[in-house]
Amino acid sequence: MLEDLRQLLRRDQVWPFLLEPVPPAIDVSHRMILYVEGLTVSFDGFKALNDLNLYLEDGELRCLIGANGAGKTTLMDVITGKTRPDAGAVFFGQTLNLLERSEADIAALGVGRKFQKPSVFEAQTVYANLELAMKMNKGIWPTLLARLTPEQRDRIDQVLEIVGLDHRRGLAAGALSHGQKQWLEIGMLLIAEPRLLLIDEPVAGMTAQETERTAQLLTSLAGEHTVVVVEHDMEFVRSIAKTVTVLHQGAVLAEGSMAQVQSNPAVVEVYLGDSQ
């Protein structure tokens, strides 16, 4: 258990355990859950994001594509409060200015982020990993051995079902396949019932079958959650995409259905040209 706590403190993931008692409601009365406007991020004079605009509808699944260095991860870093921009605005719903909030605050408001590398607690069972996520989320940090309520156990069961690991609940996470670890980590994010999920390169390193299962999982999460997926695997993007946003040199180059962006000459030239 102590080793788990050490591991937890080393994690990149920000757990929303420094919660506001009651997080403010997210005003999606205009159907939009995220507004990103005029976002510019400079690193030593180099603009990783350059006057970028992005609008997400509540419950949509958006794919974000673009060549290496286009600014995809930097955009996620700004939305989650990890990187502060030089200019621009980021609003969660109509009213919540994310640029005024800390990383922990933003997580607590309901923005969940999945980094590329899975970071589950290998020595713990699948169930124990979700239990830990629940305790972190509920802010019962000092009392990790406290018992969960029946409602919390129900939520864990529900999440196990959603991510397809119900039959693996008693298995040590370290014994899972790479794909299953990724699903477990998505499950750990789902415990907090986030409104917006940002997922960076989920299928890298997965088998074809795991990739297909991940496509089903992410598609099923949309609706209840708004999901942003960054991925280089065009086959995968094609299989899940409704709306695709193409980033190029820190700005939006094109946006539309997969068919629309694929036939956009500028996109073909700078990105899709040699990946089809």
Ligand X SMILES: Nc1ncnc2c1ncn2[C@@H]1O[C@H](COP(=O)(O)OP(=O)(O)OP(=O)(O)O)[C@@H](O)[C@H]1O
First to last CA, the chain: 47
Most distant CA atoms of the chain, gap in Å: 58
Binding piece for Mg ion, criterion CB under 5 A, among 73-81, 117-125, 188-196, 249-257: 73-81
Nearest to 41 by CA among 11, 79, 12: 79
88 binds, among Mg ion, ligand X, none (CB under 5 to 8 A by kind): none
> Residue 267 contacts by C-beta under 8 Å, 6 or more apart in sequence?
246, 253, 254, 261
| Shortest distance, position 196 Cβ to Mg ion, whole Å | 18
48 binds, among ligand X, Mg ion, none (CB under 5 to 8 A by kind): ligand X
- For 226, counting Cβ atoms within 10 Å of its Cβ (0-12 exposed, 13-18 middle, 19+ buried), the class is buried
Total binding residues for Mg ion by CB under 5 A?
A: 2
Q: Does 194 bind ligand X (CB under 6 A)?
A: no
Nearer to ligand X, 16 or 71 (CB): 71
Nearer to Mg ion, 71 or 93 (CB): 71
Among residue numbers 62 through 81, which ones bind ligand X (CB under 6 A)? Answer: 66, 68-74
Q: Does 74 bind Mg ion (CB under 5 A)?
A: no
In angstroms, the Cα distances linking 189 to 39, 42, 43, 177 are 26, 30, 30, 19
Report the amino acid identity of residue 253: L
211 binds, among Mg ion, ligand X, none (CB under 5 to 8 A by kind): none
Q: Does 73 bind Mg ion (CB under 5 A)?
A: yes
